[in-house]
Amino acid sequence: MTKTREMVDWTYEKLCLKTVKALEKNEFSALYCPSAAEARQYIIDEAADADTVALGGSMSLAEMKIADELKKRGKTILVSKGPGITPEQGMAIRRRQLTCDLFLSGTNAVTLSGCLVNIDNTGNRVGPMAFGPRKSIVVIGRNKIVDGSIETAIKRVKDRAAPPNAKRLKYETPCATTGFCSDCAAPDRICRIITILEKKPKRSDLRILVVNQDLGF
Ligand code: SF4
């Protein structure tokens, strides 16, 4: 590892640890992970007693290749989109995701004051984050940490997360072409629900892993 890399990681470590502390202050169960490998192992361990595992569309989790690993371990993986899944089957899976044993998701942003900020289209990602599954784990790459207000976090999502997501999903939105948000009125608009988790939802078992590595966008 170069000295530059080492110092960058050290600076981010401090930022991640500050975020963990803020999340804990907001009653979340938060854990610092030096790398995605540690976060991956934590998830595998926590999935041991789960039969059904649902994944909210998350590039962070995709990069960690967690679904394949859990499938190998005999878990039923609930994903609502993919080859051979009809729209009707997708809806049925989204409903099952709400009552799964373990729900895994990324987040679009987290503030240094310990609030999770997400923008969703259908709601099957942000819904189970608040209530439903027996246990939920949210993975946060260091690139999602926002040193600013909730408004700054929402801007981060619309600037950095929504455009590449719209492009990835082949949605016909202006941002999928220009790379910039124009607060569109497109039928495919993905920004339909904004959620802010200020404190841990009362009856949920929600764990948060703050990873000292860039994950997703
Ligand atoms: S409001 Fe429309 S243009 Fe802006 S990020 Fe969302 S989908 Fe893209």
Q: Judge contact between 101 and 135, C-beta under 8 A.
A: yes
User: Which of 17-47 are b and which e, b meaning 16 or more Cβ less than 10 Å from the residue's Cβ?
Assistant: ebbbebbeebebebbbbeebebbbebbeebb
Q: Is the CB of 181 under 6 A from ligand 1?
A: yes
pTM as predicted? 0.95
- Confidence at residue 1, expressed as pLDDT on a 0 to 100 scale: 85
* Strands ordered across the beta sheet of 102-106: 29-33, 206-211, 135-141, 102-106, 52-55, 76-78
Work out which ligand 1 atom sits closest to the CA atom of 191.
6
For atom 3 of ligand 1, which residue has the closest CA?
181
pLDDT at 208 over 90: yes
Q: Is the CB of 111 under 6 A from ligand 1?
A: no
pLDDT band for position 81 (50/70/90)? Answer: confident
pLDDT band for position 160 (50/70/90)? Answer: very high
Beta bridge partners of 146: 111
- Segment holding 42, helix H or strand E: helix 36-46
Q: Read off the DSSP letter of residue 144.
A: G
Q: Judge contact between 95 and 52, C-beta under 8 A.
A: no
pLDDT at 82 over 90: no
Tell me the pLDDT of the chain averaged across its residues.
96
Q: Is the CB of 174 under 6 A from ligand 1?
A: yes
In the chain, % of residues over pLDDT 70: 100
Range 18-36 average pLDDT: 98
For atom 4 of ligand 1, which residue has the closest CA?
181
- Confidence at residue 6, expressed as pLDDT on a 0 to 100 scale: 94
